[in-house]
Structure 1
Amino acid sequence: MTTLGTASAAPGEFDTGRLEVGETRDGSSVGLPVAVINGARDGQTLYMQAASDGDELNGVGVIQQVVPQLDPAELTGTILVVGIVNYHAFQVAQHRNPIDDTKMNRAYPGDENGTSSERIAAATFDVARQADIILDLHQGSTSRMINETRVRCGRRHRLHRECLELAKAFGVGYVLDQKGPDGQLARAGPDEGIPTIDPELGGCVGWDDESIRLGVEGVFNVLRYYGFLNGHVDLERQTRAKGFDQYGSPAGGLVSFEKELGERVSPGDTIFDVTDVFGKLKARVTADNSGVFWRSRRLPQVASGEYVCSVGTNVDTY
C-alpha cells in the first residue's frame, strides 16, 4: 500500500486525496490535491508536481491530461503527484505565496515549523524524497519563453550527468544547464541523490495548448525511458545553453522585437528597438554574444532599465 496524504493505493490501484500543509486564516485546513498511481509491478518511484509558482499553470494542464491516461495495470513502479503546490498563490492567480510574499521555488527543502511556504515545501519534499526521479513542472510565468528543461544542480554536481540524461529523456529540444538559486526543488532533489529537472513549459497567461502537449509528451517519454511503461524512447540531441545574457531597456517607450523565440542570435544583431508613442526610434539594442533568443516580456511598454528579454548563451548540442 502506498499513501500520499489521504490518497492510498495498493499495487494495481489509483487514488486521489489531499495532503494537509497547514491552515488558512480562518483556521480551516489547507490540503493540496494529490494522486497515487501504484503500478501492478514493483519498480521505481516518480514524483511529479506543478504550480509551485501560482500563476504557472501549464504544468497543471499536463497533470490534468497525463493522470487519466495512466492505467495502474500497465504500470511498473509508482507515480506520486502533487497537482497544485502553491495553494494560496493559485487561489488568487499570483506568482508568489501571498501569505508570506515568498516564491515557493526558493523555499526547498522547507521547514515544517517555518513560514507558510516553508511548511508547504517541507511537506512536498518529504514526498519527493521517496522518489527515484523528480519532475517539477514550471513555465516562464507570464513572459514569452521557449519550451525548455532546466538542469539546476550545477555542472560540478555528482548527479549532473543523471540530471542531464533525465532532461534529454523529457526531450522538449532546449535545455538550460545552469546552477540555480538556493531553495529550488531542482537543487534540493539532487542534493538528496535524486535526479531532478525543472521543465519550463513556455510562458503564457493562463495556459498554452502546445506547451501542455509537449509537457505531456515529455512525461510519457520519461515514463517509457525509465521503465514505468513499455515502449522505446530514442534520445534526441538537445540545444543546450549554459548561461543567459539579460537585456533591459535603455529608454522608456514601446518595444518591438527583431528576433523570434528560438531564433539564433549573432553578436551585433538587433534584438529590439524602443520607440516613443509616435514611432520615433529612441534606442536600438544589439546582441553582445552568440546564442538563442530565449525569453521576452509580453507587454510592449517599458520604463528605462526594465527587463525586456534574455538570450541563451554558451550554446551547444549534447
Structure 2
Amino acid sequence: MTTTLGTASAGPGEIDTGRLEIGETRDGSPFGLPVAVVNGERAGKTLYVQAASDGDELNGVGVVQRVVPQLDPAEISGTILVVGIVNYHAFQVAEHRNPIDDTKMNRAYPGNEGGTSSERIAAATFDAATRADLILDLHQGSTSRMLNEVRVRCGKRHRLHDQCLELAKAFGCGYVLDQKGPDGQLARAAPDEGTPTVDPELGGAVGWDEESIRIGVEGVFNVLRYYNFLEGDQPLEPQTRARGFEQYGAPAGGLVTLHKELGDRVRPGETLFEVTTPFGEPKAEVTADGDGILWRTRRLPQVATGEYVCSVGTDIGEY
C-alpha cells in the first residue's frame, strides 16, 4: 500500500522525500517541512521520527541526515515516517523558539490547525506522528552540557508508561530520565492517543556534536532492530534511570569550576563546584544535598548570583 506524508509518496519497497506544507511566510510564499517516507517491502509497524522542534537543537537533524540514506526499503518490514525539521522558522535563524509567535514548539502539542504558527505546525506533525505505532522525538540540551539520555515524559501512572520505558531502553543511550513532562510536549501528548513516545536528548550545548549524533544514529537502528523493522537480534541493555532532578545555582557571582564530570556519581556533602573571582580567589563552594549523578551543567563558566550552574539526577536505579 502506498504511504504518503505531505508531498512524499512511496509504495512498498520505495523511499521518497518531499514537503509537508503548513502555511505561508511573511512575504506570502508557502513553506513546508522536509519529510521522508520509507516504505518497506514487507508489512510491519510504523515508526515516526522528528527533529528540531526546538530550532537550535541540531543533533537530531544530524541523526536524520545520516539515518535516512542508510535505509534500504528492500530490507525493511513496515514504514518509517520522518520530519527532518519541525520548527521551520526557528531553524532558519538558529533560534530555540519560533520567532513568528515567540513559542517553544515542544509546548504546543497536540496543536491547533487553525491556531498560531507553532500550533499549526504542531497539529500537522501530531497528525503524522499519531499515525505511527512508535514515536522518536529527537532533542538535545540546547544551551547546556548534558548526558546523552532518553526522556520518558508520560508519567509513571500513565497506561503506556511501561511501553514508553521499553522504547527508551531499546534506544539504548545508557541513561533515562523517567519524569512526567510539561503539558504540550509531544512525548506527553502522543501517549494519550495510544502511541508510545520518547524524547531522546542527544547531548547538550548549541552546535553539532558528532559523538551525540553517532549515539543517536545507533539508537534509531537499535529501535529498528528491536521492533523488527530490520532483521537482527537487538537485546535490551540495562539503563541507568533517574526519576528527578536537583538544580543548583550560584550563591555568588564569578567564575565556576566544576569538581565533577558529567555522569559522575555524587554523594551527599561532596563538592559540586566552586565560584572564584577572575583572579582565582575563592568566593563560594557548593556541595551536593544527596545521592545522584551529575546530569547537566552550564556551558560557560561566568555566573551571576543565583544563576543556574548544574543539575543532579536523583532517585537513581537500573532497569
2:316 alignment partner in structure 1: 315
In structure 1, the partner of 2:21 is 20
User: Which letter does structure 1 place at the counterpart of 2:253?
Assistant: G
In the TM superposition, 1:108-147 aligns within 5 A as 108-147=109-148
CA distance in 2, matches of 1:154, 1:124: 22
Whole-angstrom distance in 2 between the partners of 1:205 and 1:193: 33
Task: Say yes or no: does 1:195 pair with 2:196.
Answer: yes
- TM-score (norm: length of structure 1): 0.99
2: CA distance, partners of 1:233 / 1:204: 30
3-state SS in 1 of match to 2:316: strand
Q: Does 1:34 align with 2:31?
A: no
Amino acid at match of 1:112: E
CA distance in 2, matches of 1:24, 1:305: 40
C-alpha distance in 1 between matches for 2:224 and 2:143: 28
Would you say the 8 A contact 1:55–1:142 is kept in 2? Answer: no
Structure 2 residue identity aligned to 1:83: G
> 1:154-213 deviations in whole A, cap 9, x for unaligned?
001000000000000000100000000000000011111100000000013321111111
Equivalent residue number for residue 173 of structure 1? 174
- Measured in 2, the distance between the counterparts of 1:205 and 1:132 equals 31
d(CA) in 2 for partners of 1:300, 1:163: 36
Give every structure 1 segment of 4 or more consecutive aligned residues whose post-TM-superposition deviation is greater than 6 Å.
none
Structure-1 residue corresponding to 2:244: 243
Alignment root-mean-square deviation, CA: 0.6
Matches within 5 A, 1:23-172: 23-172=24-173
- Aligned twin of 1:261: 262
Q: Deviations over 1:231-252 (max 9, x none)?
A: 1111110000000000111111
**Matched letter for residue 12 of structure 1:** G
SS at match of 2:311: strand
SS in 2 for 1:94: coil
Task: Name the TM-score, length of structure 2 as normaliser.
Answer: 0.99
CA–CA distance in 1 between the matches of 2:311 and 2:103?
Answer: 24
Distance in 1 separating the partners of 2:151 and 2:199: 5
Could you tell me which runs of 5 or more consecutive residues in structure 2 were left unpaired when the two chains were aligned.
none
> Per-residue deviation at 1:276?
1.1
Gaps of 5+ in 1: none
Instruction: State the match for 2:210 in structure 1.
Output: 209
Give the count of matched residue pairs.
Answer: 318
1:291 aligned to 2:292? yes
